[in-house]
Structure 1
Amino acid sequence: MINYFKMKKAEWKIKSTVYGTIAALIDNQKDILNLLQKMYIALKDVPVEDLQKGLVTKLAEIIHTQSKDMAE
């Protein structure tokens, strides 16, 4: 009987964690959608090639600084 209560307690912890995460996502949904809309509006007239080049350049910079920091 004690094991049953321990299992139920663990089950409630897991359920509360899952439901809390879902609630947080729903609460932040408006903010996420607003951010995506602003990004779309800002980048809709930029050619895809420029976006790809910019992304590759930024990734290369990040990788370079990280490898530089790890070497030190």
Structure 2
Amino acid sequence: MPTSLSSLPEGYDVYMLLTSVNKEELNHKVCAALRMGYRLQGSPVINQSTNRRVYFAQAVYWPGVYDAFDADNA
């Protein structure tokens, strides 16, 4: 399991908020991030904007970098 910045995929951030207006698209983004080695941070979010458009989001983080988020290190 990846545990350092050196193993972070090139071009990716330690923490990412994945978003979409389509829940299936968000599912694909989250699954791709999990396959790379990211972990989920918190619960997914569904929000409706003032223009009545629905947005879906899920935060992910790279394990070991933010030990406070990493349940294996607690």
**What TM bracket, shorter-length normalisation?**
under 0.3
Q: Pick the structure with more strand per residue.
A: 2
After TM superposition, the score normalised by the length of structure 1 is 0.23
After TM superposition, the score normalised by the length of structure 2 is 0.22
Where relative contact order (Cα < 8 A, 6+ residues apart) is larger, the structure is: 2
